Chain A
Amino acid sequence: MKNSIKVQRAIHDMTQADLAEAIGVSRQTINAMEKNKYVPSTVLALKIARLFKKSVEDIFTLEDE
């Protein structure tokens, strides 16, 4: 699974720490998601999408194997 969190973060001019604080997770979590090392839970994906005012599919997309 890919995601565009880093792009969205740049658009909203947020650091990893800003985003982590805004949705109440650790900075490790944001970092791991941006590096595609962690697939977030549905709840967390929805929170991120809501913060950026996008749908989940705009931010998280499936990759071809």
Chain B
Amino acid sequence: MKINYLLPNKYKTLGWILFVLGIITGIFLFFSDYESNILTINVLTIYNEAFLFSEQSGFFKIIENSILDELAALAIIIGGLLVGFTKEKVEDEFIYKLRKDSLVWAIIFNYAVLIFTILFIYNFTFFDVLVFNMFTPLVFFIFRFNFLKHKSLNYEE
């Protein structure tokens, strides 16, 4: 069977390292209210709306920004994609089916949670929901896939 979209297994370890580092950094940023000044550098922005310095508003401006949150987000997303979409050591049709089933489950579960939070979380607290929701589809998918993989190893003999 021809299997598409999957990278070689050797990238999985790198994926896990990025994913875990990204999540740890993300949790640190969350509890510091995204106000860290670590790694502040000049960055190019395609469009910026500044509150105080009007000369920084507009298209294609160079602004100062702490890039720790950007790095954390990229690490979670790239790491998560590598973990989820690299081949297993033994990749076959059943593992591929588990992966697809986990994806369907993760999307449905993610949007069920999102519907619940839209109904019951308001104002600035909902900003946290939006931030988490950037990553939860991948996180739920990875959890579900690994859970199913381990569950289908249990056997009675």
Contact with B along A10-49 (1 / 0, CB 8 A): 0000001000100011111101111101101101100000
Contacting pair B149 A41 (CB below 8 A) = no
Binds A, one of B8-16, B87-95, B136-144: B87-95
Is the Cβ of B92 less than 8 Å from the Cβ of A43?
no
Chain B contacts of A27 at CB under 8 A? Answer: 90, 153
Closest to B93 in A: A41
Q: Does B5 contact A (CB under 8 A)?
A: no
Give the A interface residue count (CB, 8 A).
19
| CB within 8 Å of A: which B127-157 residues | 149, 152-155, 157
Beta-carbon contacts under 8 Å, B98-146 to A:
98
When distances are taken between beta carbons in the complex, the residues of chain B under 8 Å from A44 are 92-93
- Report A23 CB to chain B, min CB distance, Å: 9
Q: Which 8 A-B residue pairings sit nearest by Cβ, starting from the closest? A: A29-B94, A26-B90, A25-B92, A28-B152, A31-B155, A32-B152, A41-B93, A38-B94
Between A and B, 15 residue pairs with Cβ closer than 8 Å are A20-B90, A24-B90, A26-B91, A26-B94, A27-B90, A27-B153, A28-B95, A28-B149, A29-B92, A29-B93, A32-B94, A38-B94, A40-B94, A41-B93, A44-B93
A interface with B by C-beta (< 8 Å) = 16, 20, 24-29, 31-35, 37-38, 40-41, 43-44
Given A16-B157, A29-B95, A38-B97, 8 other A-B contacts at CB below 8 A? A25-B92, A25-B93, A28-B94, A28-B149, A31-B152, A37-B152, A40-B93, A40-B94
